[in-house]
Amino acid sequence: MTFAAAILGCSGPTLTAEERAFFRDVRPWGFILFRRNIETPDQVRALVEALRACTGVENAPVLIDQEGGRVQRLGPPHWRRYPPGRAYGQLAANDPLLRREIVRLGARLIAHDLAALGINVDCVPVLDVPDPEGHEVIGDRAYADGPEEVARLGRAAAEGLIAGGVLPVIKHIPGHGRAMADSHLALPVVEAPMAALEARDFAPFRVLSDMPMAMTAHVVYAAIDARRPATTSRKAIRGVIRGALGFDGLLMSDDLSMKALSGDFAERARASLAAGCDVVLHCNGDMAEMKAVLAGTRSLSGRARVRAQAALARIVRSAEPFDAEEARARFDAAFDGRWAA
């Protein structure tokens, strides 16, 4: 069975006839949901089923960004609010084991929510280490200010998702924390020397290099490649992400529609894949843009296909036994009810 090396979005809460025909024709490897696609639990379940029916694959990856805080696609009234990463890092200053437990618990609760809808991939954890001078696009999405704690809590979040049958995606590899611009709007350039990057920015990604999936950063690291952002840089992907960091899971680009990238959509897709991304991501559901992306996208094959199969094989057949009501009560108690539904 052949798939396009792409993850695509759709325009609304149900598929249009054009979207069904397009997805059946191009057979993207996976799909991603945003707020525009979310209304009620029954509606989301039906949309997920419709997307998978287009590819004919029962466990085709359906992704979402459900971090908590300001990046949470599912929310009230049907789903509870979750705190941003930083709120976990600020818990129990003298009890790192408790912080780790509550991060895992929060991720396990999120996995419980997602699995009930058929969503099997969450773009979490954020492993970016924020810089005091960096842009606020990361900000409170980061678990902590230091690489060791970011790695510890990121590991806990990944473990909680996996236990609940949801794959984590580490992001934004090899690190977005020093970026002085929001890559949704402009191309950030990081001038830090390699030694500083290796010690701080890259460190959490090295610790979690065993994860099944990762998302690139649309950031230029002058010490690696002064001309291209990591997403389209062979030096960054092959030398750093695959080489120095040792990541051998499925590597997906960040959203190709972000303004950090240049060129038309076919060129962006072609450049990302040529640099070493396994699949490209396009999020906004714009049909003209998706057709252009697919014009620059190849079939999923070779090592990329092997990595894609290996990633999906990490989805547990049976989720860890879990009492959701007890878990919610314990979670709310840890935050003194501040994030209770």
Active site residues: 184, 254
Contacts of 288 (CB under 8 A, 6+ apart): none
3-state secondary structure the chain: CCCEEEEECCCCCCCCHHHHHHHHHHCEEEEEECHHHCCCHHHHHHHHHHHHHHHCCCCCCEEECEEECCEECCCCCCCCCCCCHHHHHCCCCCCHHHHHHHHHHHHHHHHHHHHCCCCCEECCCECCCCCCCCCCCCHHHCCCCCHHHHHHHHHHHHHHHHHCCCEEEEEEECCCCCCCCCCCCCCCEECCCHHHHHHHHCHHHHHCCCCCEEEECCCEECCCCCCCCHHHCHHHHHHHHHHHCCCCCEEEEEECCCCCCCCCHHHHHHHHHHHCCCEEEECCCCHHHHHHHHHCCCECCHHHHHHHHHHHHCCCCCCCCCCHHHHHHHHHHHCCCCCCC
CA distance readout (Å), 213 to 55, 61, 309: 20, 11, 11
